[in-house]
Amino acid sequence: MVRIGQYLSLNPRQKQLGFLPYNERLLESSASFPLVPTIHMPYERLLYEAKYCSPRKLASRVTELPRPLVFTNGCFDILHRGHVIYLSRARAMGASLVVALNTDESVRKLGKGADRPLNPLEDRIAMIAALESVDLVTWFADETPLARIIAARPDVLTKGGDWAAETIVGAIEVRAWGGSVHSIPFEVERSTTTLVERIRNAHACQG
């Protein structure tokens, strides 16, 4: 029997491999929990975390990706089927896919609601990076991702079917260096805004 929060000490080999122990403060705070049968093992870094890319490293990181390189952007607040299909279609247009996410403040500037995003940036980065179709995830705080597009210099630029190709931010620049721009049609009618409204209406009815 061990207390919640106890963990096995890391041996030198585990430390060399990058195993991460549990937060010691969390361990101390759990001392008052009842005794339960549990086994805690140290965890390796999650593989998809290697896809995280800070904006300042974007230009160098994309040189490691195969071409043609596809670039897209968005909020991706509550991940749904429409997002997964769209990103899969975008990835199929090239050999690798870079996704740039709006920061939390950037999302709020889009007028989606004072309580949006529902998932903070760090969570949205993790969800998108975990998708097989995505090779790199970065972010932007500006109104548009133009600076990230210029840094990544993609061969293909895409957005969802609600954007006309000629109105997509970065279209002029990408076409100028010989790339292509595509508006990918929606295959299923899914929307984070609609999903949030359905949840709120259901909650209101129960109240």
The predicted model gives 59-81 an average pLDDT of 97
Assess whether 28 and 54 both reside in one domain: no
CA distances 74 to 25, 86, 132, 148, 152, Å, are: 36, 11, 18, 12, 16
Q: Could you tell me where the DSSP H helices lie in the chain?
A: 12-17, 24-29, 58-61, 81-91, 104-108, 121-129, 146-152, 171-176, 192-206
Q: Which domain holds residue 20?
A: 2-36
Q: How far apart are CA 121 and CA 158, in angstroms?
A: 21
Assess whether 28 and 60 both reside in one domain: no
CA distances 115 to 31, 107, 112, Å, are: 35, 10, 8
Q: Which residues contact 56 (CB under 8 A, 6 or more apart)?
A: none
Report the range out of 31-35, 45-49, 98-102 with the highest average pLDDT.
98-102
Into how many domains does the chain fold?
2
Assess whether 80 and 29 both reside in one domain: no
For residues 37 and 78, the model is more confident at: 78
Assess whether 66 and 16 both reside in one domain: no
Q: Which two tokens stand for residue 108?
A: 């709020």
% of the chain with per-residue pLDDT over 90: 63
Q: Which neighbouring-strand residues pair with 184?
A: 160
